């Protein structure tokens, strides 16, 4: 990558209507310019766009281009899709707006924007633009590297990389991992499945300056741009890449302690019990609410217990969740057994034992999805059961550690490091071992 690319970001998919406003004049080919409020809908492959005028084009796609200072606003953009913080926002964007009729009466809206402009929004959407500047710089390099590696991966022929899920196994074992969603119409979505991109809202001069200060800088390992990953909080130890995704280790995505001290990896169930039921010193183990208000978006602050957390289920409730999320009737739930863990304690294979079925599920995200109506915060957990008078489990108690997959940069840990005086480069070299920082454009 030797020049700044234009990124196609999917900001709304398969919506029945798209409403908002053009904040300035936008042109759609030879059509007269439009401005002000709009409402879009599709009739098969025909797009109807009503603003200050009406544009009807008998084709599948239409692109609106504004001037340098023009922006557009979309009302009711869904964020946190399928997560416990899902909600709608009004968001404004720079760049072009492309609409595509899906042929089923729905529209997909795409924002075409330069990579560096996109990144200023990402680092202000994933976290807060009021976070320490060295953290924002480290996040900009991480997000830029992930995006470039993802774009490169999408250009290479592969049997599996384009698939939204990968699976192996038999009727008794279901092993899936989720990478970049299979987006055919755009490069990257605007939500947690790729990177949060909430437009101009929340972007500050500090965030823009952090992106400018690192412009064109990437994490490189072995002359390749790193597939840099990140998440909210590791829980004290970061995780190996292969615990969450394909079984191909990446040396720069290996487990490290989220601390200046070293911690041994989790190797046994006894290790997991001791680790998860304790509260070791770690950068992401912070109770500094003022700092958390400075670094976390408002909806992330609603999750107060993220370093160590607890979920309790009545057996029948968990049976219902499992049936709903997996499509499998386990009957009476007998046991949940961790079979394989990564060094952070995250489970990659979990055996679910019931009176009607016994199934092993993985990897970490699929486990989190099966055991919650939305998602468990992580798969680093230990399970205890409380038996009824008949000896059958009456309830299951899950004690967990961390928030997210745990691979790569720990966002809260990195922000605390920056607050303690660490530089962006020191933060990056801590979480991504053996990397180089290179300016490629």
pLDDT per residue as tens digits for the range 356-365: 999 999 999 9
- pTM metric for this prediction: 0.90
Query: How does pLDDT run across 264-323, given as a tens digit for each residue?
Result: 999 999 999 999 999 999 999 998 999 999 999 887 888 889 999 999 999 999 999 999
Residue-level pLDDT at 85: 60
Q: What mean pLDDT, rounded, does the chain reach? A: 90
Whether residue 159 has pLDDT greater than 60:
no
Query: How does pLDDT run across 43-89, given as a tens digit for each residue?
Result: 877 777 655 555 555 568 889 999 888 999 999 887 766 666 677 88
What's the whole-number mean pLDDT along residues 409-438?
Answer: 98
Peptide bond into 216 cis (omega under 30): no
Strands in 273-346 per DSSP E: 308-314, 333-341
Kindly give, in sequence order, each residue whose CB lies less than 8 Å from that of residue 300, ignoring residues fewer than 6 positions away: 85, 232
Whether residue 22 has pLDDT greater than 60:
yes
> Could you tell me which residues are beta bridge partners of residue 28?
none
What's the whole-number mean pLDDT along residues 121-137?
Answer: 94
More confident residue, 32 or 325: 325
How sure is the predictor about 105, in pLDDT bands with cuts at 50, 70 and 90?
A: confident
Residue-level pLDDT at 45: 73
Whether residue 170 has pLDDT greater than 70:
no
Query: How does pLDDT run across 379-394, given as a tens digit for each residue?
Result: 999 999 999 999 999 9
Whether residue 161 has pLDDT greater than 70:
no
How sure is the predictor about 30, in pLDDT bands with cuts at 50, 70 and 90?
A: confident
DSSP secondary structure letter of residue 69: T
Query: How does pLDDT run across 194-239, given as a tens digit for each residue?
Result: 899 999 988 999 999 999 999 999 999 999 999 999 999 999 999 9
Residue-level pLDDT at 321: 98
Residue-level pLDDT at 158: 38
Quote the CA–CA distance of 71 and 91 in Å, as a whole number: 10
Count Cβ neighbours within 10 Å for each residue of 53-75 and write b for 16 or more, e otherwise.
eebebeeeebebbbeeebbbbbb
pLDDT > 90: percent of the chain: 72
What's the whole-number mean pLDDT along residues 27-32?
Answer: 82
Residue-level pLDDT at 109: 94
Kindly give, in sequence order, each residue whose CB lies less than 8 Å from that of residue 10, ignoring residues fewer than 6 positions away: 108, 109, 110, 183, 185, 186, 188, 189, 190
**Cβ proximity of 352 and 363 under 8 Å:** no
What's the whole-number mean pLDDT along residues 253-262?
Answer: 97
Whether residue 39 has pLDDT greater than 80:
yes
CA distances from 297 to 232, 233, 300, 301 (A): 12, 14, 5, 6
Whether residue 182 has pLDDT greater than 90:
no
Residue-level pLDDT at 152: 86
**Residue position matching structure tokens 């790569």:** 408
């Amino acid at each position: 990558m030797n020049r700044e690319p234009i990124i196609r970001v999917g900001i709304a998919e398969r919506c029945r209507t798209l409403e908002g406003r053009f904040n300035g004049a936008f042109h759609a080919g030879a059509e007269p310019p439009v401005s002000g409020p709009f409402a879009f809908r599709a009739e098969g492959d025909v797009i109807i766009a009503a603003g200050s005028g009406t544009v009807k084009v008998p084709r599948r796609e239409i692109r609106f281009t504004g001037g340098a200072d023009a922006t557009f606003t979309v009302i009711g953009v869904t964020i946190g899709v399928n997560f416990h913080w899902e909600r709608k926002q009004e968001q404004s964007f720079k760049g072009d707006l492309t609409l595509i009729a899906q042929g089923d009466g729905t529209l997909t809206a795409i924002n075409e924007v330069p990579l560096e402009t996109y990144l200023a929004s990402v680092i202000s959407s994933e976290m807060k633009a009021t976070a320490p500047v060295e953290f924002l710089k480290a996040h900009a390099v991480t997000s830029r590297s992930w995006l470039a590696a993802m774009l490169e991966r999408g250009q290479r022929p592969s049997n599996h990389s384009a698939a939204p899920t990968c699976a192996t196994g038999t009727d008794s074992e279901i092993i899936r991992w989720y990478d970049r969603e299979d987006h055919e119409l755009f490069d990257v979505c605007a939500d947690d499945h790729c990177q949060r991109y909430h437009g101009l809202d929340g972007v500050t001069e500090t965030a823009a300056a952090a992106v400018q200060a690192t412009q064109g800088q990437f994490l490189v390992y072995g002359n390749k741009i790193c597939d840099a990953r990140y998440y909210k909080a590791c829980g004290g130890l970061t995780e190996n890449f292969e615990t969450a995704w394909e079984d191909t280790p990446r040396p720069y995505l290996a487990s490290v302690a989220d601390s200046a001290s070293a911690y041994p990896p989790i190797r046994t169930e006894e290790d997991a019990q001791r680790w998860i039921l304790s509260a070791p010193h770690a950068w992401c183990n912070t109770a500094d609410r003022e700092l958390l208000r400075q670094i976390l978006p408002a909806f992330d602050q609603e999750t107060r217990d993220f370093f160590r957390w607890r979920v309790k289920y009545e057996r029948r409730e968990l049976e219902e969740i499992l049936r709903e999320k997996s499509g499998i009737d386990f009957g009476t739930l007998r046991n949940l057994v961790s079979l394989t863990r990564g060094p952070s304690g995250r489970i990659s294979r979990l055996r679910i034992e019931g009176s009607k079925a016994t199934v092993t599920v993985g990897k970490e995200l699929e486990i989190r999805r099966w055991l919650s109506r939305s998602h468990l915060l992580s798969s680093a957990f230990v399970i205890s059961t409380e038996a009824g008078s008949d000896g059958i489990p009456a309830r299951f108690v899950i004690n967990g550690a961390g928030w997210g997959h745990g691979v790569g940069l720990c966002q809260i840990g990195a922000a605390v490091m920056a607050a303690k005086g660490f530089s962006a480069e020191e933060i990056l070299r801590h979480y991504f071992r053996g990397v180089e920082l290179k300016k490629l454009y």
